[in-house]
Amino acid sequence: MGNRQLVSEIVLTPEEEENVLNHSCTVEKLLQRIENSECKNIVVAAGAGISVSCGIPDFRSPGTGLYDNLQKYNLPTPQHVFDISYFKATEGKAFYLLAKEMWPDNFKPSPTHAFIKLLDDKGLLLRCYTQNIDTFERATGLDGDKIIEAHGSFASASCTKCKSSFDQYVLVTKILNEVLTAIIL
């Protein structure tokens, strides 16, 4: 069953439709519904916005976004920092320098990350889908089994040559200490 079919099967009551159209779906009302046990099996879909307040830039905002601030790496285009062919051709130098700057230990999770963990502590969280690689959901103590990291994360990596897997503790040692010749991921 495709996503379109699933979405087309969602039926809102006239009152729910009116609430959505009039923007009366507020955080306060959501919290009230959670408090009243009207919400169970909550699925969170998170993007860069929940980590921006932590100091992690989003990718595309003019002036402050990551892609607008990579000049020091002399990349052909900003997107090359994440391009696997460029990574292999340059032994990952730009990627590793950026990873060192953005390593999760340099930042702290936001209140939104803590809220996701609270949902889990209350038995309400079914799953957390995130586009973020920063592992802040894990840093709150949220079990990795509840997290789907759509773009991967700093929690693990694989060697591009031998395909061996490495956990974040091996990775952090290599990245922060710049021991990159020993492991080209």
The active-site residue, picked from 23, 80, 113, 151, is 151
The DSSP-derived string for the chain is: --HHHHHHT----HHHHHHHHTT---HHHHHHHHHTT---SEEEEE-THHHHTTT---SS-TTTSGGGG-GGG--SSGGGGG-HHHHHHTTTHHHHHHHHHT-GGGS---HHHHHHHHHHHTT-EEEEEE---S-HHHHTT--GGGEEEBTB-TTEEE-TTT--EEEHHHHHHHHHTT--SS---
151 catalytic? Reply is yes
**Is beta strand 125-130 parallel, antiparallel or unpaired with respect to 147-149?**
parallel
- Could you give the residue numbers annotated as active site? 151
